[in-house]
Amino acid sequence: MASDERSTALVPIAPVEASPLQPLGHTRATSDGELAASWLDGMHSATTREKFAATAERFLAALTVLGLTLRTATVEDVREAIAALGEGKAASTKAQYAQRAKSLLSYAHRLGYVLFNAGAAVRVKGGTVDRAKRIASETEIALLIRAAPSRRDRLLIEVGYAGGLRVSELVALRWSDVLPRDQDRVQVSIVGKGDKLRHVLLPAVVSRSLLASRGDADTDAPVFPSRKGGAPLLPRAVNRMIKNAAQGANVNPDVSAHWLRHAHASHALERGANVVDVKDTLGHANIATTSIYLHARPDRSSGLVLDDGVFLR
């Protein structure tokens, strides 16, 4: 996934005075900051709230620079503010920022905070993600695991790859989420996007290492604690560790924690896993999302049956 803003505050938005125009609405918000806070309160995932809050902060700040609020901004103003959000970012990141800003504007309109949804007239250019470029080979994953700087980090990479987990799901794991099963395997309970619960079985070789690492940790303790006070690792710390491991392993320097999830899907399908099983393991809402991995690294193409004689020099 594309990188996001680094912000920890949920609503770090300076209050912006509302326009004298006060439409009849369904919110108590009287400023853009209060409206954004209401919008964020409806989101269940803490990770989602953090990302959307950071985007809202920057979007409203861009409007403030123009001397505007959500109520006074025109379509052109909104386009300009959204463009400022994505300046210097990858196309996929720009698209994410634009969609979040449009969501905020749509929320404001639905609640009657603004009379017109300026975001509805803003077209978002989709940032195409080429998953084939984000899939490490099995050999690269093996090298990455062996280059991990510590036992904890090696196990984290193994669990992330074996379970196809998002980095936010990895760092949120507690020992109460780990349940021993038969055949030396463990089941981990994952709360994914939209607070949807799913259960993932890990292979025995990873399960044994995971259980052996627990020691006398309490059930509420994080499976992958930081070295400072035993608090859970932060996602950015995990990605930093993986970048360092990639450098030591001499594999693609662009690799990130999310690549482990891509690799799991691709490798499992290549080895004959049922696409429905992969969908359920990764927690995809739609099987079409999982099916993308079937085509990310094709081993067949109609071009392979063409006559080689055409190309002889």
Q: Give yes or no: 264 in active site.
A: no
* pLDDT tens per residue, range 157-170: 999 999 999 999 99
Where is average pLDDT lowest: 49-58, 72-81, 187-196, 292-301? 292-301
Say which of 102, 262, 267, 284 is annotated catalytic.
Answer: 284
User: Bigger pLDDT: 309 or 187?
Assistant: 187
Q: Which residues pair with 191 in a beta bridge?
A: 197
Look at residue 298 in the predicted model and tell me its pLDDT.
Answer: 59
> Which among 238, 254, 234 is positioned nearest to 246, based on CA atoms?
254
Say which of 79, 174, 193, 198 is annotated catalytic.
Answer: 193
Say which of 51, 102, 258, 264 is annotated catalytic.
Answer: 258
Backbone φ, ψ for residue 222 (5° rounding) = -70, 145
> Which among 194, 221, 212, 201 is positioned nearest to 159, based on CA atoms?
201
User: Bigger pLDDT: 45 or 244?
Assistant: 244
User: Bigger pLDDT: 89 or 62?
Assistant: 62
* pLDDT tens per residue, range 202-218: 999 999 999 999 999 99
Confidence band for 22, pLDDT divided at 50, 70 and 90 = low
Q: Give yes or no: 261 in active site.
A: yes
The second-level CATH assignment, the architecture, of 1-129 is Orthogonal Bundle (1.10)
> Which among 96, 124, 116, 111 is positioned nearest to 37, based on CA atoms?
111
Look at residue 306 in the predicted model and tell me its pLDDT.
Answer: 60
Domain parsing of the chain, residue ranges = 1-129, 133-296
Q: Which CATH superfamily is domain 133-296 in?
A: Intergrase catalytic core (1.10.443.10)
Express as a percent the part of the chain with pLDDT over 70.
83
Backbone φ, ψ for residue 265 (5° rounding) = -60, -50
Q: Is the pLDDT of residue 223 over 60?
A: yes
Q: Tokens 């940790």, residue?
A: 217
Q: What DSSP string runs through 67-86?
A: T--TTT--HHHHHHHHHHHT
Q: Give yes or no: 6 in active site.
A: no
* pLDDT tens per residue, range 249-291: 998 888 889 889 888 988 888 888 888 898 999 988 888 778 7
Q: Give yes or no: 258 in active site.
A: yes
Angular region, 272: left φ>0, alpha ψ -120 to 50, beta rest: left
Look at residue 308 in the predicted model and tell me its pLDDT.
Answer: 65
Where is average pLDDT lowest: 44-53, 59-68, 182-191, 300-309? 300-309
* Cα angle value 256/236/286 (rounded, 5°): 55
Say which of 97, 113, 161, 293 is annotated catalytic.
Answer: 293
* pLDDT tens per residue, range 32-73: 999 999 999 988 777 788 889 999 999 999 999 889 999 999
Confidence band for 133, pLDDT divided at 50, 70 and 90 = low
Q: Is the pLDDT of residue 224 over 70?
A: yes
Going across the sheet that includes 197-202, the strands are 178-180, 186-191, 197-202
> Which among 100, 105, 109 is positioned nearest to 27, based on CA atoms?
109
Say which of 109, 166, 262, 264 is annotated catalytic.
Answer: 166
Q: Do the domains 133-296 and 1-129 match in fold? A: no
Where is average pLDDT lowest: 24-28, 61-65, 128-132, 205-209? 128-132
Say which of 134, 154, 261, 264 is annotated catalytic.
Answer: 261
Q: Give yes or no: 133 in active site.
A: no
For 215, residues 6+ apart whose C-beta sits below 8 A from its C-beta are none
Q: Give yes or no: 94 in active site.
A: no
Where is average pLDDT lowest: 112-121, 129-138, 225-234? 129-138
